[in-house]
Amino acid sequence: MDQIKLPTGLRDEVGIVAERKDIVSNWLLKYFRDRCYTRINTPIVEQRNLFNDFTSTNPPYRVFDPAGDDLVLRPDLTLPVARFLSNANIELPRRLYYLGTKFEISPELSGGQNQQTQLGVELIGYDTLKAEMEEVIIMHQLNQHFLHQHQLTIELGHAKLVDQVLDSLDIDHQLHTQMAQALYHKNFPAYNSLLGKIDACDELPFLRKWPRMFGTLDELRQMLLEIKVPKAARPMIDQLVTLAEFASSLPDQQVIIDLSSAVPQKYYTGITFKGYTARSSTYVISGGRYDDLLANFTAKTEPAVGLGINVDALVSIADVELLNQRPVFVYANLDKMQQVTHLIEQRSNYSLALADSLQEAKQQAQAAGATLMVWQAGKGLVEC
């Protein structure tokens, strides 16, 4: 039979990699369960049109069911929660948490993984900055528990800031789009060239410095003292500063504000946050406020803030201690199984030696790095 390979971008997990992932996932699940969050599980397969207006331009994995419906492997885990809330009659506000796999095809030759395990929370019905502060506390807890040696940097932005400022200018749609893209990609030459097309206005001093307006809270404050902030941007910047002050008050994490940050997902409407370390090749955490998302599925909208943790990225840099208790294999003849079973059940590191001969049991124990115990009449279990 020909060898069957995994599709590109997907992976199997076994041994230490899988065990580290279990330890991290189980700690996170317990953290949210202990804090009265409600667990939600959604199917791995969804209707394709659920994601049409919000996900990236990369095509999803498509699936066709027996009825011929056009389905996909979910490329996002927040949208299925929104779909659920639009169809279910549950009391709000509500704190939800989930753990699942999403599938998003990376650009060709990028080397990215198409399969990602994500654990996330959705705070539905909370129209207060305290919801964003709750997400900051979660990020701080990750710092404290898993990232002792690799400080998490939290980058704050606002999904509407760029569009709000550009909307206040007397420019056409094409120039608006080009300037926004140049800002998001920190393409200074392109941005400066586009800026030359704007007539003199009160906002020009801000516009000239705008692409470089990112840094720590103190650095940003100094920049803001030197210019007049456009009226359209002031409420959003004030919110960012307030949240950054709170985040900076918590130890062992760095906080960055970016006034031209790219939006992680199209459905975000307010403050966004990303978390990364010097060792991570991708964002460990990503999220933000998406107050208008439910309006796309139902007549009623609800304020909401979400946060997604890239479990794979977190596991790759986390300080995780594997259980180091030495395993014990117990060998007995078939007619002595009843005598050894209760001893095995009483000890967490004991398991049955799956061998028909003592010699084979010794070989299995040696290969597994386990101690071998043998049942002997009148003595009970004796180390071999």
Q: Is residue 267 marked as binding?
A: yes
Ordered DSSP codes for 184-208: HTT-HHHHHHHHTTSPP-TTHHHHH
Dig out the tokens for 250 from the structure: 């918590």
To the question of whether residue 184 is assigned a binding role by annotation, the answer is: no
For residues 314-340, b (16+ Cβ closer than 10 Å) or e, as one string? bbbbbebeeeeeeebbbbbeeeeeeeb
- Cβ(382)–Cβ(340) below 8 Å: no
Q: Is 78 annotated as a binding residue?
A: yes
Residue 128 token pair: 């207060």
Instruction: Measure the CA angle with vertex 282, ends 277 and 284; round to 5°.
Output: 60
CA pair distance 71, 62, nearest whole angstrom: 6
Q: How far apart are CA 196 and CA 54, in angstroms?
A: 32
Q: Confirm or deny that 170 is annotated as ligand binding.
A: no
Ligand-binding annotation for 31, yes or no, is no
Would you say 122 is a known binding-site residue?
Answer: yes
Q: Please, is 296 exposed, middle or buried when counting C-beta atoms within 10 Å of its C-beta (0-12, 13-18, 19+)?
A: middle
What is the C-alpha separation between 337 and 353, in angstroms, rounded? Answer: 11
Strand, helix or coil at 308? Answer: strand
Print burial letters for 171-185: b (CB count within 10 Å at least 16), e (below 16): beeeebebbbebbbe
For the chain, give the number of residues. 384
Through-space distance between the first and last CA atoms of the chain, rounded to whole angstroms: 42
The answer to whether 111 and 283 have CB atoms below 8 angstroms apart is: no
Q: Count CB-CB contacts under 10 A for residue 198.
A: 16
Q: State how far the Cα of 192 lies from the Cα of 198, in Å rounded to an integer.
A: 10
Residue positions forming the annotated binding site for L-histidine: 76-78, 118, 122, 267-268
